């Protein structure tokens, strides 16, 4: 019987929420995982998987930091087989009150950060590698006061499609997973009224769980004939207004 190849995952924004859930699934499957975060790392996960989990701190918006981090990973574990661009920052405000620094910070993390990570990993990805960008429903449907986050996630969708064509000749897939409303630390700042209003728009009438998104991320990473795809995991929310073809 063929043994399953032990893959090396690099997951940004992986100290909590969807990123941490994806890391746990990959580790449980026997793969190696690099947890990348700007702040506190997930010590509990590291202690559970001391041989296969590596936690490194870096700011994805800093290209030099990501180059240094990936070089360290490559030296220790060789190739990078799965990239999950999950690092995200949310700063809201209607256009008249949106600060320039907030706009730049969101784009730098959510969009440029994904590009920095992919560019750093590029020399270390072989055939059958998988790049998974984590988008957002707001990247396809506008919400007032959310222009920075929406622009960054819409840009990530465009990046996904362009790179899916660019990497196809190398056998590397690039896909976008689109979570719906998931209760994480990022959404903790929303009021109960806002959460209830958003939940009412979801056909399944409930929030998503981080592990439900991670389950799809794991599946997408294994699919070899799907690339350039947008995969909603949103309880049906995208179906209420359609997904661009």
CA distance 245 to 239: 13
Q: Is residue 164 part of a domain?
A: yes
Q: Is residue 194 part of a domain?
A: yes
CA distance 176 to 158: 10
* pLDDT of 194: 66
* pLDDT of 181: 85
- Residue span of the structural domain in which 55 resides: 8-233
* pLDDT of 79: 95
Number of domains within the chain: 1
Question: Which positions are catalytic?
Answer: 149
CATH number at residue 84: 3.40.50.720
Q: Is residue 17 part of a domain?
A: yes
* pLDDT of 26: 97
Which of 232, 36, 21, 208 minimizes the C-alpha distance to 120? 36
- CB contact at 8 A, 179 and 18: yes
* pLDDT of 245: 44
Q: Is residue 183 part of a domain?
A: yes
* pLDDT of 186: 59
Q: Is residue 108 part of a domain?
A: yes
Q: Is residue 245 part of a domain?
A: no
* pLDDT of 184: 66
Which of 41, 38, 35 minimizes the C-alpha distance to 54? 35
The pair of three-digit structure tokens given for residue 117, joined into one six-digit string: 């990570």
Which residues, listed in sequence order, are joined to residue 11 by a DSSP beta bridge?
35, 84
3-state secondary structure of 3: coil
The pair of three-digit structure tokens given for residue 14, joined into one six-digit string: 């992986």
pTM: 0.91
pLDDT along the chain (245 residues), means of 10: 80 94 96 90 75 95 98 96 94 82 93 98 96 93 82 97 98 96 67 72 87 98 97 88 53
* pLDDT of 242: 52
Q: Is residue 105 part of a domain?
A: yes
Q: Is residue 240 part of a domain?
A: no
């Amino acid at each position: 019987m063929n043994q399953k190849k032990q893959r090396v995952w690099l997951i940004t924004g992986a100290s909590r929420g969807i990123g941490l859930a994806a890391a746990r699934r990959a580790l449980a499957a026997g793969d190696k995982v690099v947890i990348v975060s700007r702040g506190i790392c997930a010590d509990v996960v590291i202690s559970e998987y001391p041989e296969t989990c590596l936690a490194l701190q870096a700011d994805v918006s800093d290209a030099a930091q990501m180059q240094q981090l990936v070089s360290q990973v490559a030296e220790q574990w060789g190739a990078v087989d799965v990239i999950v661009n999950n690092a995200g920052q949310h700063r809201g405000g209607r256009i008249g009150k949106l600060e320039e620094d907030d706009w730049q910070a969101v784009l730098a993390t959510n969009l440029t950060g994904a590009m920095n990570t992919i560019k750093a990993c590029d020399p270390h990805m072989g055939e059958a590698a998988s790049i998974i960008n984590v988008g957002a429903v707001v990247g396809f449907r506008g919400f007032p006061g959310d222009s920075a986050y929406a622009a960054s996630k819409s840009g990530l969708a465009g990046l996904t499609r362009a790179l899916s064509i660019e990497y196809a000749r190398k056998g590397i897939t690039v896909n976008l997973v689109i979570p719906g409303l998931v209760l994480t630390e990022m959404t903790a700042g929303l009021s109960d009224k806002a959460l209830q209003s958003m939940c009412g728009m979801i056909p399944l009438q409930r929030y998503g769980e981080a592990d439900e998104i991670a389950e799809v991320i794991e599946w997408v990473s294994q699919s070899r004939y799907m690339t350039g795809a947008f995969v909603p995991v949103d309880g049906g929310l995208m179906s209420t207004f359609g997904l661009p073809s």
